A and B are shown apart, each in its own frame.
Chain A
Amino acid sequence: MATMQMDRSNLWDVSSRVIVYAAIGAALYAVTAPLSFLIPGTESVSIRPSFAFVTFFGFAFGPIVGLFTGLVGNMIGDQLSGWGLLTSWNWSVAIGLVGLLAGLTPTYLRSWMNDRGRMLAAAAIGSAIATIVGLLFVFTDIILGTTEDFNSALTVNYVPAVISDLVTVVILTPILVAAWQPVKEQLGR
């Protein structure tokens, strides 16, 4: 993977490659956001397949790309839907954090990811941990007054979002990584 070749010193470089991949990731997240669907039998838990782009772009291209994909992709998606660029700005930051954390996974697990199976496992596990940790930022809803107390923030916001996004990232991120790997080698990247 691209990030697997990164050492920690160039992890935060913002090159033309990082800019373009970040823009592609954010645009993909925004345009595929309408592919979401509700889990049958629930009224609030919707699965967003596009969320996998956040963890995939982070995992494949680094933390800056992941951060941008989540942060800007979610803001633009909200903006295009009419919800507003900054109405749920803290959710955009949370999703950006998910991408950033997913982007750190390959760097810190580089020595462990020595075969294809382990790399795909790392993509799934790293994305899952990034989702669980990154989305903790949505508890800022309590400070912003969007949610009244910890109980509502947990049961209405955090848990449904984590469950639905975990389903997405655990399935789709390794698939996207597996699809990208041979193409990357073909391109000589």
Chain B
Amino acid sequence: MNVTPRYLGRGSWLSRRDPRVLILAIVLFVFATVQVWDARLAIVLFAIALLYYRSARIPWRAVRFNWLYVLVFIGFIVTTNTIITGGQLRETTGDALHVYFNLPLFGTPVSAESVSYAVTQLLRFLSMAAIGFPVAFAVAPGDIGVAFARLRIPERFAYAIDLTFRFIPSLAADVRTTIDAQRIRGYDYEKAGRGPIGRVRRTVPILVPVAINAIVGAEDTIDAMDLRAFGTHRRTWLRALVYDRTDRLVLGGFIGLFVVVTILAFNGASRLYVLPFLIP
């Protein structure tokens, strides 16, 4: 169970960008993408996301399980949405559907429209995931807090985010130690049986000691902050962040993308586009 932040994109073109650019890029890209239901534009956004992802040079072997998780999750969302909606897709209903066949048990029509919907949704999610990966793997963990602070997020909130990232490695180690310690005592939280309630109760010997130890240990951090008069003056950050020309260009590109996509969405890109070759 490795949940600690990994700086896999170290030294890449994207990792040399100001971390604020990566955070703002996600915000702009996600809000652009959610407006799009035209598969042609979704393909363009997907291509941009892939290009952006490639510039982070994240080693495939290190993130293949993350991608597997993403693909399984997206596959589930796309499949269930397509089945549950029962063919009522993006204002396309009833007689307007080009039906191939009806799904057994559900009775949901599988049509050119539903396949186009599934493809577009798949592209949307993959694009958003690809844009999101670099923040996890191409930003130095120590830069996250200062990046949020420089984005004018309230400084105490930014400091709490910074602290969260600092606590993660030690708490992850505590979880592993606790699991190992309980196993030595013959206790295995992964043991199946006794139903969902039993499974939840089996996590108690892991979660309770980890949580209580973490809270008790936090007292030292609180005392240290209070002794240094935390919160009595405006906080400053040692790490300086400055946008260079490339940062401004990248950011300008994402702002431009958001504006263009929003205009296109008002002019039809927010409606489902049925891929012509799917129409029988």
Most B-side CB within 10 Å, residue of A35, A155, A180? A35
B275 within 8 A of A: no
Q: Flag whether B215 is at the interface (Cβ < 8 A).
A: yes
Task: Say yes or no: B160 contacts A84, CB within 8 Å.
Answer: no
Cβ contacts under 8 Å, A180 to chain B: 211-212, 215
Q: Take A27-B167, A43-B76, A167-B197 as given contacts and tell me if A81 and B222 are in contact as well, using a CB distance cutoff of 8 Å.
A: no
Identity of the chain B residue whose Cβ is nearest the Cβ of A77 in the assembled complex: B3
Tell me the B136-175 residues at the A interface (CB within 8 Å).
136, 156-157, 159-161, 163-168, 171-172, 175
Whether A20 lies near B225 (C-beta < 8 A) is: yes
Q: How many residues of A contact B (CB 8 A)?
A: 66
Complex CA gap A141/B86 in Å reads 17
Q: Are A24 and B196 in contact (CB under 8 A)?
A: no
What string of 1s and 0s marks CB contacts (under 8 Å) between A128-148 and chain B? 000000000000000011111
Residues of A within 8 Å of B161, CB to CB, are 23, 72
Contact: B216 with A16, CB < 8 Å? no
Q: How far is the CA of A35 from the CA of B37 in the complex (A)?
A: 35
- Asked whether A151 lies within 8 Å of B34 as measured between CB atoms, the reply is no
* B26 at interface by CB-CB < 8 Å: yes
Contact of A5 with B by CB under 8 A:
no
Residues of A within 8 Å of B81, CB to CB, are: 147-148, 152, 156
Q: Does A149 contact B (CB under 8 A)?
A: yes
The dominant DSSP class at the A interface is helix
Task: Check if B135 sits within 8 Å of A85, measured CB to CB.
Answer: yes
A168 to B204, CA, bound (A): 11
How many chain B residues touch A (CB < 8 A): the figure is: 77
- Which residues of chain A have C-beta atoms less than 8 A from B35's C-beta? 145
Alpha-carbon distance A19/B164, docked complex (angstroms): 10
Q: Which residues of A from 41 to 71 have beta carbons under 8 Å from B?
A: 43-44, 47, 49-50, 52-53, 56, 68
- Is B97 positioned at the interface, with any CB of A under 8 Å from its CB? no
Task: Kindly list 12 other residue pairs between chains A and B, CB separation below 8 angstroms, not including A31-B175, A53-B207.
Answer: A20-B221, A24-B214, A27-B164, A39-B196, A80-B3, A81-B66, A82-B70, A148-B85, A151-B85, A171-B197, A172-B207, A179-B211
The 9 A-B residue pairs with the shortest CB-CB distance, nearest first, are A84-B132, A82-B66, A23-B163, A27-B167, A49-B203, A16-B225, A152-B84, A148-B85, A23-B164
Interface residues of A (CB under 8 A from B): 14-17, 19-24, 26-28, 30-35, 37, 39-40, 43-44, 47, 49-50, 52-53, 56, 68, 72-73, 76, 78-87, 89, 144-149, 151-152, 155-156, 164, 167-168, 171-172, 175-176, 179-180, 183, 187
6 A-B pairs with CB atoms under 8 Å apart are A16-B231, A27-B214, A40-B192, A49-B207, A145-B34, A151-B85
